Structure 1
Amino acid sequence: MLKTIQKIFFLGAFGLLISATVSGSHSYRFRVYLKDKGNTGYSIDRPEEFLSKEALERRAQRKVAVTSSDIPISESYIDSLSSTGAEPVAQSKWMSTVVMNSPDSLVVDKLKALSFVDSVKWVWKGEADYPKNLEPDTSKFYPSDLPVANYYGQADSQISMLNGVKLHQAGFRGQGMHIAVIDAGFQNVNRISVFDSLRLLGTKNIVSPGQSVYESDDHGTKVLSCMAANSPGVMVGTAPDASYWLIKSEDNRSEFPVEEDYWVAAVEFADSVGVDVITSSLGYFMFDTEDSVYSQCSLDGKTALISKAASMAADKGILLFSSAGNEGASSWGKITFPGDADEIVTVGAVTDDKKKSTFSSIGFTADYRVKPDVVALGSGCSVVDASGNITYANGTSFATPILAGLSVCLWQAVPELTPKEMIDTLQRAGHISSHPDAELGYGLPDLYKAYKSQCKHVSER
């Protein structure tokens, strides 16, 4: 399976799929929609009681107001949900949802009976226990590639295509900017030499709290390398001096709608630690059962839980980059969720001759907005794999961080821009900005041109 990570969703009537009781070590998870968040005692007039210093600083910098959506769900509600015998595993204060886990499917009736519960949906069935961490290995991985004369090494073409070298030479390499990478796992990032200078802010495993993000999947490793690799002559990424949070939201064991809930929790965590930018190369659209809730008609930015949360992140002053998806040659064809969200940057993929990569998903949205917004190299991208070696990979998964990293550098250069203004700037810098289409959006942006344009605007103010 190619990872943008393409997910297939099913939110159908769980009564048709779940047996009355559970045997063995299986568990079920239910998304509980709340009527409200309860009486928490918090007030938006005292945001320091429920928002971190970092989150408040970003809101102040971006002139974003604290609203009732920022207030957490009442602990009394969580306690009442837990009194049914189910265990809370994820929650969203923005969406007013809680995911509850139980080995007994009949707990759903108890959940639905609570006065503050609006509705309940089945979102997961699987093994009750997560695999334990392996013993940490401290051995190092060094690339087999010998350094070349070019400073950027194997990544030169994907940076040059966006005119990012000049932006770096102007002194903007992401210093002081905080990026959250939401992905499936970051295998061996802590052991690979090209990440020795990684400015790591922290890690978070949403799927299995307390477990390492450095095991089992290297999709996030490859994604991160497009931005954070810093080995001159071998590979240098698009934002080597930025600081990073590495967040795992993908459950590698299965493909269920609960992935949405994990992703939303990851985004809210990123907000809580005050990041400037989120880049996510995870895409979702349907589940391979007879029933499906999401269809192309749902690509309106307002239907899918994950898309609504993406737009909410934008409302909080976060610039969010999402891969368009790798469904261009499939029967689905279209962008995947949350790429349909408004006021985020949805990134498609092109070849080295600026033609759409065959696999790159297309727009428009169901309500006729231009998507993808922009594109970057997605065919034959240089990435670092779990062994620490440079390899080549295809996917909007990699076009997205390549562009996100240079956009971070641009935002470092003109920090007064709002996320919406950043999106407008990227769109205007696209090579087909005067005639955007459903395949390339506004096209391949020239990041240095965008920088010079913004400098001119600033000087004229």
Structure 2
Amino acid sequence: MKKFVLLFLIFVPLLVFSQEEAWVYFNAKANEQYFLDNPSMMLSQRALDRRSTQNIALDFKDVPINQSFINTVSAVSGIKVMAKSKWLNAIHVRGTQSLINSLKNFGFVAKVDFADKTLNTTNKIVTTKSVEIQKSDLKKEKTVYAYGGSAVQVEMLNGQLLHQQNYTGSGKIIAVLDSGFPGVDKALPFKRLRDNNQILGGYNFVKRNDDIFSQDSHGTFVLSTMGAYVDNVLIGTAPGASYYLFITEDVTSENPVEESLWVEAAEKADSLGVDIISSSLGYTDFDNPAYNHNYSDRNGTSTFISKGAEIAFSRGMLVVVSSGNDGGTKSPYIGAPADAPSVIAVGAVKADKTIAGFSSIGPSFDGRIKPDVMAQGEKTVVSDENGNSIFLSGTSFSAPIISGMLACLWQAYPDKTNQEIKELMLESATKYAAPDNQYGYGIPDFGLALNKGVSLKSEKIEYYVAYPNPASDVIAVDFPPSFNSGKVLFYNVLGQKVLEKKVESIHTDFSLESLNRGIYFYHIESDSVSKNGKIIKK
């Protein structure tokens, strides 16, 4: 998250960074089968129930990291362990280059990955076109509700239609990962949350203590877009949801350790049974320029935080993040973890639904559609730590607005998976049929998503299946919103390719006019999907 340190940036090139940041990956865990046989040792019952509902099996990633390995590394004089991740079976360490490299001598160390990629001598150095990367400023949003000034940001998404049916996020838990929450324990807009015990707890990963109602106010602003409730002033998108508040961002510096703390907090959220992670943080540049994430790193698989965010989704949670505020710079692209494939990256629009100039755009470096959706992020109504309603701008506020609405939608369909809820939202959006890299799939209509969910109870869409079957001259194939590109090949009964078509959109029609009557086999392929089927042309 960008800090206001412009006066000091002039001196950054003159600094000597003697201490390096690195991730040390382990090659094993202890007592793996014991933990898999005793899942309550790893996850809360609510977390296990979420896995069961979505048919997600426990695996190696869920097993705790081996503490004896951590102790051994910690015992090395000059090495400081800053964070740990069971999902990635890694720890974040700080020390000199030589000391960190010496850790490779331990038999339990699989590899060492320096934040300064030039120090990873065994890794291939990727060269790209020269693109100037700017810091992402993610700091700088039938019951009748009196939304007051917040009406536009709720009604733009047709969120009031869910609220009117008492879908306010009740029964859902949102973890907010940010930089501080001062005033949440005292200010009027959060009184309803406090009185109803909807603040379930939290942790300050930066300070390693329970002091969450302090530090930077950014998290307070963010939380207010979801949980605040003051009639005729500000009502958030999920006033009925419950919240965990986690501080992972250190506003005094910009260091890769914040990515590791984010992943650690995401793992904690998973273990507590959280449904949605909402985070208005993103990373591109750091105090030490050697650690910067170039555009080529924003491919969904390179950065530590994006790897963690992708695993978080695989555990059954929705992960919603800000796309970034670099839209007006020479490098306008999304940051990390907005580049992760399964993450819902949210861009910002104005009250008139046109894109805000600062909103970061896509695609991800590997060419995927980003951002995913849009919500109001310019002149968003938020609460400050004193309870005053103010206007702030940034994708920091459009992301939690979407998080809150997703909680409401998921309340309406508690048996749906995170992927199904995500797709309901995407399919309701204004540009679903023709997404682009400015608006993504567009502005969701949660009223439409709610209605679509009703129809899908009786009519489940089958993806990657050609229909109608038998067919005449035209068939269609539906692809999920996460599908970006690919092709469909047709073969006759002799195995000869007779037709090849590119996938042009999520719903794609294919003409079979050139084919004779008979049986044909089709093969759908992309980077992540391979599907075979049979079609009869009559």
Q: TM-score, normalised by structure 1?
A: 0.85
Residue 63 of structure 2 is aligned to residue 71 of structure 1? yes
Work out the CA distance in 1 between the residues paired with 2:3 and 2:376. 16
Gap runs ≥5 in structure 2 = 5-15, 117-143, 461-538
- Alignment-derived partner of residue 532 in structure 2: none
**Residue of structure 1 aligned with 2:179, choices 184, 200, 203:** 184
The one-letter amino acid paired with 1:72 is P
- Alignment-derived partner of residue 149 in structure 2: 154
Work out the CA distance in 1 between the residues paired with 2:32 and 2:145. 57
The one-letter amino acid paired with 2:18 is I
Measured after TM superposition, the shift of residue 197 of structure 1 is: 1.4
Change beyond 3 A, Cα 1:29–1:337: closer
- Alignment-derived partner of residue 323 in structure 1: 322
- Alignment-derived partner of residue 435 in structure 1: 434
The alignment partner of 2:457 has SS state of helix
Measured after TM superposition, the shift of residue 274 of structure 1 is: 0.6
Work out the CA distance in 1 between the residues paired with 2:383 and 2:3. 15
Do the aligned residues in 2 keep the contact of 1:40 with 1:73 (CA within 8 Å)?
A: no
Measured after TM superposition, the shift of residue 203 of structure 1 is: 1.1
Measured after TM superposition, the shift of residue 158 of structure 1 is: 0.3
- Alignment-derived partner of residue 508 in structure 2: none
Residue 46 of structure 2 is aligned to residue 54 of structure 1? yes
Aligned counterparts, 1:253-402, within 5 A: 253-287=252-286, 289=288, 291-292=290-291, 294-402=293-401
**Residue of structure 2 aligned with 1:35, choices 3, 27, 38:** 27
Change beyond 3 A, Cα 1:108–1:319: same
Measured after TM superposition, the shift of residue 291 of structure 1 is: 3.2
- Alignment-derived partner of residue 114 in structure 1: 106
- Alignment-derived partner of residue 91 in structure 1: 84
The one-letter amino acid paired with 1:91 is K
Work out the CA distance in 2 between the residues paired with 1:71 and 1:345. 26
Report the more deviating stretch, 421-430 or 219-228.
421-430
Work out the CA distance in 1 between the residues paired with 2:387 and 2:159. 24
Report the more deviating stretch, 155-164 or 203-212.
203-212
Measured after TM superposition, the shift of residue 288 of structure 1 is: 5.3
The alignment partner of 2:331 has SS state of coil
Structure 1 residues 429-452: Cα deviation after superposition (integer angstroms, max 9, x where no partner): 111111111000010011011101
Measured after TM superposition, the shift of residue 30 of structure 1 is: 4.4
Measured after TM superposition, the shift of residue 296 of structure 1 is: 1.4
Do the aligned residues in 2 keep the contact of 1:323 with 1:348 (CA within 8 Å)?
A: yes
Measured after TM superposition, the shift of residue 300 of structure 1 is: 1.7
The one-letter amino acid paired with 2:49 is E
- Alignment-derived partner of residue 72 in structure 2: 80
The alignment partner of 1:81 has SS state of helix
State, as a whole percentage, how many aligned pairs show the same letter. Answer: 39
Measured after TM superposition, the shift of residue 209 of structure 1 is: 1.3
- Alignment-derived partner of residue 221 in structure 2: 222
Measured after TM superposition, the shift of residue 150 of structure 1 is: 7.1
Structure 1 residues 386-406: Cα deviation after superposition (integer angstroms, max 9, x where no partner): 221000000110000111101
- Alignment-derived partner of residue 519 in structure 2: none
Work out the CA distance in 2 between the residues paired with 1:215 and 1:292. 28
Work out the CA distance in 2 between the residues paired with 1:286 and 1:119. 24
The one-letter amino acid paired with 2:62 is D
Measured after TM superposition, the shift of residue 105 of structure 1 is: 7.3
Do the aligned residues in 1 keep the contact of 2:27 with 2:109 (CA within 8 Å)?
A: yes
Change beyond 3 A, Cα 1:119–1:439: same
Measured after TM superposition, the shift of residue 44 of structure 1 is: 2.1
Do the aligned residues in 1 keep the contact of 2:82 with 2:257 (CA within 8 Å)?
A: no
The alignment partner of 1:155 has SS state of helix
Aligned length: 417
Work out the CA distance in 2 between the residues paired with 1:121 and 1:459. 49
Structure 1 residues 320-377: Cα deviation after superposition (integer angstroms, max 9, x where no partner): 1011000101122101100011122110000111111000000111222111111000
Do the aligned residues in 1 keep the contact of 2:42 with 2:271 (CA within 8 Å)?
A: no
Structure 1 residues 228-259: Cα deviation after superposition (integer angstroms, max 9, x where no partner): 00111221110001000000000122111111
Do the aligned residues in 2 keep the contact of 1:40 with 1:74 (CA within 8 Å)?
A: no
The alignment partner of 2:192 has SS state of coil
Residue 441 of structure 2 is aligned to residue 456 of structure 1? no
Work out the CA distance in 2 between the residues paired with 1:122 and 1:207. 21
The one-letter amino acid paired with 1:392 is F
Work out the CA distance in 1 between the residues paired with 2:452 and 2:218. 35
- Alignment-derived partner of residue 205 in structure 1: 204
Work out the CA distance in 1 between the residues paired with 2:28 and 2:292. 24
The one-letter amino acid paired with 2:329 is S
Residue 191 of structure 2 is aligned to residue 175 of structure 1? no
Work out the CA distance in 1 between the residues paired with 2:99 and 2:33. 29
Report the more deviating stretch, 202-211 or 392-401.
202-211
Work out the CA distance in 2 between the residues paired with 1:284 and 1:79. 29
Work out the CA distance in 2 between the residues paired with 1:392 and 1:52. 38
Work out the CA distance in 1 between the residues paired with 2:247 and 2:179. 5
Report the more deviating stretch, 54-63 or 224-233.
54-63
Report the more deviating stretch, 155-164 or 112-121.
112-121
Change beyond 3 A, Cα 1:417–1:232: same
- Alignment-derived partner of residue 22 in structure 1: none
Work out the CA distance in 2 between the residues paired with 1:288 and 1:76. 32
The alignment partner of 1:279 has SS state of strand
Gap runs ≥5 in structure 1 = 5-15, 20-27, 125-148
Change beyond 3 A, Cα 1:110–1:346: same
The alignment partner of 1:338 has SS state of coil
Work out the CA distance in 1 between the residues paired with 2:284 and 2:449. 33
The alignment partner of 1:420 has SS state of helix
Residue 37 of structure 2 is aligned to residue 45 of structure 1? yes
**Greater radius of gyration (CA):** 2
Structure 1 residues 382-424: Cα deviation after superposition (integer angstroms, max 9, x where no partner): 0001221000000110000111101110110012221111121
Work out the CA distance in 2 between the residues paired with 1:2 and 1:458. 44
